[in-house]
Amino acid sequence: MPPLRDTLKALGWHHTATHLDDLIAQATKQRWSPIQLLEHLTATEQHERTRRSLERRLARARIGRFKPMTDFDWAWPTRIDRPAVEAALRLDFLAAGRNLVLVAAQGLGKTMIAQNIAHQAVLAGHRVVFLTAAQLLLDLGGQDSARSLGRRLQYYSQQGLLLIDEIGYLSYDARAADLLFQIVSRRYERRSLALTTNLSFSEWSSVFPNATTVTALIDRIVHHADIITIDGDSYRRREAKSDRKPPRDAPGR
């Protein structure tokens, strides 16, 4: 007969195996009945499995550090559809199987919003991957065989929500455009895609200057999409100007 801890681990009851002595002491002290002990053990294991699952999904999502939406200054942009942003944060687009596009100049918080959406999707139990367009295309372009490329395309295609950040900051060749088109096509009308861009769709030809798939790529993105445009001056520029201002009581003023 193997030790009890080994048996518990083999059954997947890792938390119970790790804290067995403490649990036995607690049950003895509080005089739990067998039913009370089993209820406590199953509830604790379920809680721990949920916590570990969340940690794994957050790690796989690769969201990185981000500011919560409570820090977002809604009054700063000259144009922003707050109800639409809040609907996106509630994952309404995901429930409807739609895409989401955040269009804004640099420094207006579109990445922050996208990261918060990704976080909410993970909390809701979805498989999520968040990465920049450069990271995505570098990964796909770096595959050394058709088989490995196929596996990566399948990986990105099967995520519950794929968020592609920063389309428009760099230019790519025709092969990169074709790879992105494959991702979009595989997810088209199957799984939601979210992306951020600093360019209007009419300017995407500058991102993929030699690609013939740009029009088809855009068509598939916007066919079932919620498009949110944010206008205004950069938050970061405002903060930089604020940081440069000397305090009012500084000497010499």
User: Per-residue pLDDT for the chain (253 aa), expressed as one digit of tens each?
Assistant: 568 888 888 888 888 888 888 888 888 988 888 888 888 888 888 888 878 877 888 888 899 999 999 999 999 999 999 999 999 999 999 999 999 999 999 999 999 999 999 999 999 999 999 999 999 999 999 999 999 999 999 999 999 999 999 999 999 999 999 999 999 999 999 999 999 999 999 999 999 987 788 999 999 999 999 999 999 998 766 666 665 555 555 444 3
Q: Does residue 47 fall inside a structural domain?
A: yes
Residues 216 and 94 in one domain: yes
Residues 35 and 130 in one domain: no
Residues 147 and 170 in one domain: yes
Residues 122 and 183 in one domain: yes
Both tokens of 13, joined, read 């009851």
Residues 227 and 121 in one domain: yes
Report the pLDDT value the prediction gives residue 246, as an integer from 0 to 100: 58
For residue 228, what is the enclosing H or E element? strand 225-230
Count of domains in the chain? 2
Q: Does residue 125 fall inside a structural domain?
A: yes
Task: Write the DSSP assignment of 38-92 as a string of letters.
Answer: HHHHHHHHHHHHHHHHHHHHHHHHT--S---GGG--TTSSSB--HHHHHHHHTTH
Record the pTM: 0.80
Residues 92 and 149 in one domain: yes
Residue 203 belongs to domain with CATH number: 3.40.50.300
User: Whole domain around residue 118: which residue ranges?
Assistant: 69-238
Residues 167 and 224 in one domain: yes
Report the pLDDT value the prediction gives residue 250, as an integer from 0 to 100: 46
